């Protein structure tokens, strides 16, 4: 098992690389790794942010997509879509019911 100090050192090194890196694909891989580290540390909101950024930089990065799905992010997005649709339908029905 990797200890907290090793995670912190790895995270800091990756963040330094991220600052200096101009290549989007490399930046995506760095965000992917930062997302993995955040996941192992239980920092799931941070992990989701890094993984989303990885996909924004490189849409072909399937590892980030799979990890987001594993974290339940895909289902959260789908639930939000359903809620928005239901809200829109309720609003429309409310307008139709008014005289």
pLDDT surpassing 80 at residue 89: no
| pLDDT at 77 exceeding the cut of 90 | no
Domain span at residue 19 reads: 4-72
Q: State residue 29's pLDDT score.
A: 97
Tell me whether residue 57 is in a domain.
yes
pLDDT digits (tens, 9 = 90+) for 29-69: 999 999 999 998 888 889 999 999 999 999 999 999 999 98
18 found inside a domain: yes
CATH number, residue 35 = 1.25.40
Cα–Cα distance, 33 to 10 (Å, whole number) = 9
Give the pLDDT mean for 91-99: 68
pTM of the model: 0.70
Distance CA 50, CA 73 (A): 12
Q: For tokens 């490399």, what's the residue?
A: 26
Q: Is residue 30 part of a domain?
A: yes
Per-residue pLDDT band for 99 (boundaries 50, 70, 90) equals: low
Helices (H) and strands (E) in the chain, counts: 5, 0
- Give the total number of structural domains in the chain: 1
């Amino acid at each position: 098992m990797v200890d907290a100090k090793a995670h912190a050192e790895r995270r800091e090194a990756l963040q330094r690389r991220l600052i200096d890196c101009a290549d989007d694909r490399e930046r995506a891989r760095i965000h992917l790794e930062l997302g993995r580290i955040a996941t192992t540390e239980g920092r799931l909101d941070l992990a989701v942010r890094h993984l989303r950024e990885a996909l924004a930089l490189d849409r072909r990065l399937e590892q980030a997509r799979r990890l987001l799905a594993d974290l339940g992010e895909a289902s959260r997005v789908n639930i939000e879509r359903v809620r928005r649709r239901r809200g829109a339908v309720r609003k429309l029905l409310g307008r139709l019911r008014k005289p």
